[in-house]
């Protein structure tokens, strides 16, 4: 596959399907850079500031909205999330491929703004698997409940995405992601 370039790869899909794990492992060392989202939710245990998210206060998030900092924002339950327009534009100008991890509204918004340079890779697993995986790693009831409530809405987005992967076996998922991405970069 040839141009358009540079690409914006978006990992979307059902929450808890393994998007972060699979995307980071597949693209480590690839030269494709992760742009973390900003959020006004507090960090959860085992999250890494500046790697998973840029954590900001509610007031900071308000100010950033008012100064048109974001290319897109979304509110999910109690918290807001957004991607800084500046990072996307800097990457575009320097020819840098990037990847983002977004829900369906964010994926649509970025696709609308950046067109065919945006490649959406949809990861999912069935609802029971989401619950089992999260409970086995001690995720709070509040988070598991939120992911399961949003599941049906999120899973229907797959028909809009360029690629769909059921993340049953992590090694196979990583290999699929690498192969998809390589197809765009060669
Ligand atoms: N194929 C797999 N098999 C078993 N466990 C997996 C697999 N892929 C990811 N996991 C585990 O599932 C859990 C959720 O993964 P991860 O946090 O990457 O999901 P996510 O979709 O990014 O979630 P979020 O919606 O919280 O951003 C993690 O504990 C991860 O190690
Ligand atoms: N539209 C956007 N969605 C985002 C962004 N950053 C993360 N997300 C999605 O939010 C939910 C909840 O995430 P959690 O880490 O609090 O469980 C999940 O689907 C993320 O992919 C963003 O900047 N824009």
Q: Is residue 103 part of a domain?
A: yes
Mean pLDDT lowest for which of 2-16, 82-96, 123-137, 157-171? Answer: 2-16
Nearest CA to ligand 1 atom 12: 18
Report field, pTM of the whole predicted structure over 0.90:
yes
The pLDDT assigned to 109 comes to: 98
pLDDT score of 172 more than 60 = yes
CATH number for the domain including 134? Answer: 3.40.50.300
Query: Using CA atoms, how far apart are residues 71 and 147, in angstroms rounded to an integer?
Result: 24
Q: Is residue 2 part of a domain?
A: no
pLDDT score of 3 more than 80 = no
Q: What is the mean pLDDT of residues 156-171?
A: 98
Q: Is residue 146 part of a domain?
A: yes
Task: Tell me if 101 sits within 8 A of 107, measured CB to CB.
Answer: no
Closest Cα partner for 34 from 86, 88, 73?
Answer: 88
Query: Using CA atoms, how far apart are residues 170 and 107, in angstroms rounded to an integer?
Result: 23
Query: Using CA atoms, how far apart are residues 9 and 35, in angstroms rounded to an integer?
Result: 10
Q: Which two tokens stand for residue 175?
A: 């290999």
Q: Is residue 57 part of a domain?
A: yes
What are the pLDDT digits (tens) for 22-65? 999 999 999 999 999 999 999 988 787 777 899 999 999 999 99
The whole domain housing 76 covers 8-185
Give the atom of ligand 1 at the shortest distance from the alpha carbon of 17: 21
Q: Which ligand is nearest to the CA of 41?
A: 2
Q: How far is the CA of 149 from the centre of ligand 2 (A)?
A: 15
pLDDT band at 4; cut points 50, 70, 90: low
The pLDDT assigned to 133 comes to: 93
Nearest CA to ligand 1 atom 8: 18
Q: Is residue 52 part of a domain?
A: yes
How many domains in the chain? 1
Nearest CA to ligand 1 atom 11: 18
Q: How far is the CA of 170 from the centre of ligand 1 (A)?
A: 9
Q: Is residue 1 part of a domain?
A: no
Q: How far is the CA of 103 from the centre of ligand 2 (A)?
A: 5
Q: Which ligand is nearest to the CA of 22?
A: 1
Q: What is the mean pLDDT of residues 119-146?
A: 95
Q: How far is the CA of 39 from the centre of ligand 1 (A)?
A: 19
Q: Is residue 3 part of a domain?
A: no
ipTM score for this prediction? 0.96
């Amino acid at each position: 596959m040839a141009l358009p370039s540079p690409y914006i790869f978006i990992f979307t899909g059902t929450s808890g399907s393994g998007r972060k794990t699979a995307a980071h492992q597949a693209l480590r060392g690839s030269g494709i850079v992760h742009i973390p989202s900003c959020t006004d939710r507090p960090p959860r245990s085992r999250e890494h500031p500046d790697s998973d998210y840029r954590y900001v206060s509610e007031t900071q998030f308000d100010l950033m909205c008012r100064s048109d900092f974001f290319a897109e924002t979304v509110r999910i339950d109690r918290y807001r999330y957004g991607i800084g327009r500046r990072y996307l534009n800097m990457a575009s100008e320097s020819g840098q491929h990037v990847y983002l991890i977004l829900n369906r509204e964010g994926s649509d918004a970025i696709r609308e703004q950046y067109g065919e340079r945006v490649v959406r890779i949809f990861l999912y697993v069935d609802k029971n698997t989401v619950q089992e995986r999260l409970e086995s790693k001690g995720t709070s009831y509040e988070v598991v409940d939120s992911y399961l409530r949003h599941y049906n809405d999120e899973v229907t987005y797959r028909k809009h995405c360029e690629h769909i992967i059921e993340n049953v076996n992590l090694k196979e998922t990583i290999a699929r992601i690498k192969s998809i991405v390589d197809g765009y970069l060669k």
